[in-house]
Amino acid sequence: MAERVNRSSKLVGAPGRRRLSAEARKSSILKAARLEFADTGDMSGTTVKAIAERAGISEAVIYRHFESKEQLFYEAVVEPLRIAVDELVAAAEVVDLDEPLSPQRQLQTMNSLYRHLVSTLEEVLPLLGLVLFGDPEVARKFYRSHFAVAMDRLAEAWRKVEDRYGYEMESPEISARVVMGTALILALESRHSTKFSRNRTLSAVAEGTVKGFFPAIEPAQRRAARGTKRPSAVPFSEA
């Protein structure tokens, strides 16, 4: 019995170690859980024992704060991601309607939207990967209840801009998903590519979104283009 008490004291209340409040202890468990879930890559491959070892406590302490590993995963990974997505779209919904929506302002607004989306998505990429590419049931529920809803809210915000300025956007729901998907790829580029040029890329993507990436070419232009040598392509991440 004495040996078990001594081992427990090393985990929770060793000499010279300040005893944490319940709130601080829960926060430290959540941090350890996020790291452990990220290391293993999914919920099923992570054990409560491994999380306890990373946090420097016993499994019993974890179960004082959380009923199950599933609850721990939700609070450590899904809930922070839900909050981040909600805040991201809430910021994207805000459009200053007091100023005229000039072409230049359209570009500035789209550039700012992409900048915000990319920065936020880059920050939550590990959590996003865990949720959307981990357990299929968790992924399905999160996508339908939060991620898809967030893009629908973005589309609704663009409809309000349409109504205010009297122009029509084809399928705001699809446009919102295209923008979010583009921002997700750019976040991956920013996180993993050493050649990623944020300012140049965001400017080019914003302009392409507003003006169209592939403008229609008239027959006369096509005939003229036959005799024109195409310049070498420059990857957007190298400029």
Same domain, 123 and 206: yes
Q: Which residues of 36-68 are buried (b: 16+ CB within 10 A; e: fewer)?
A: bbbeeebbeebebebbbebbebbeebbeebbee
Query: How far is the C-alpha of 117 from the C-alpha of 122, rounded, in Å?
Result: 8
Angle (nearest 5°) at CA 44 between 74 and 12: 65
Tell me, what's the pLDDT at 135?
A: 86
The residue ranges of DSSP E strands in 122-189, in sequence order, are none
The stretches in the chain having pLDDT less than 50 are: 1-16, 234, 239
Q: Is 54 among the domain residues?
A: yes
Helices vs. strands in the chain: H and E counts, helices first = 12, 0
Judge if 29 and 113 occupy the same domain: no
Name 233's Cβ contacts closer than 8 Å, sequence gap at least 6. none
Q: What is the DSSP letter of 103?
A: H
Contacts of 95 (CB under 8 A, 6+ apart): 109, 157, 160, 161
Phi, psi of 119 (to 5 degrees): -60, -45
**45 in any annotated domain:** yes
Q: Are residues 36 and 133 in the same domain?
A: no
**Which pTM was predicted?**
0.72
Cβ atoms within 10 Å of 219's Cβ, excluding its own: 7
Distance in angstroms (rounded) separating the CA atoms of residues 81 and 55: 21
Tell me which residue range forms the domain holding 145. 74-211
Q: Is there a single domain that holds both residue 48 and residue 78?
A: no
Is the residue at 183 inside a domain? yes
- Phi-psi category of residue 56: left, alpha or beta, with phi > 0 → left and psi -120 to 50 → alpha: left
Q: Terminal CA-to-CA distance of the chain, rounded, Å?
A: 67
Structure-derived torsion over alpha carbons of residues 107, 191, 72, 84, reported in degrees to the nearest 10: -10
Please tell me whether residues 81 and 61 are part of one structural domain. Answer: no
Please count the residues of the chain.
239
Same domain, 93 and 163: yes
**Are both 54 and 102 inside the same structural domain?**
no
Tell me whether residue 120 is in a domain.
yes
155 and 48 fall within a common domain: no
Are residue 104 and residue 27 in the same domain, yes or no?
Answer: no
Q: pLDDT tens digits for 93-134?
A: 665 555 556 778 778 888 888 888 898 889 888 888 889 988
For residue 103, the tally of other CB atoms under 10 A from its CB is 9
In tens, the pLDDT along 44-53 reads 889 999 999 9
Q: Give residue 201's pLDDT.
A: 93
The structural domain count of the chain equals 2
Cα separations (Å) of 26 from 40, 156, 195, 200? 21, 37, 39, 42
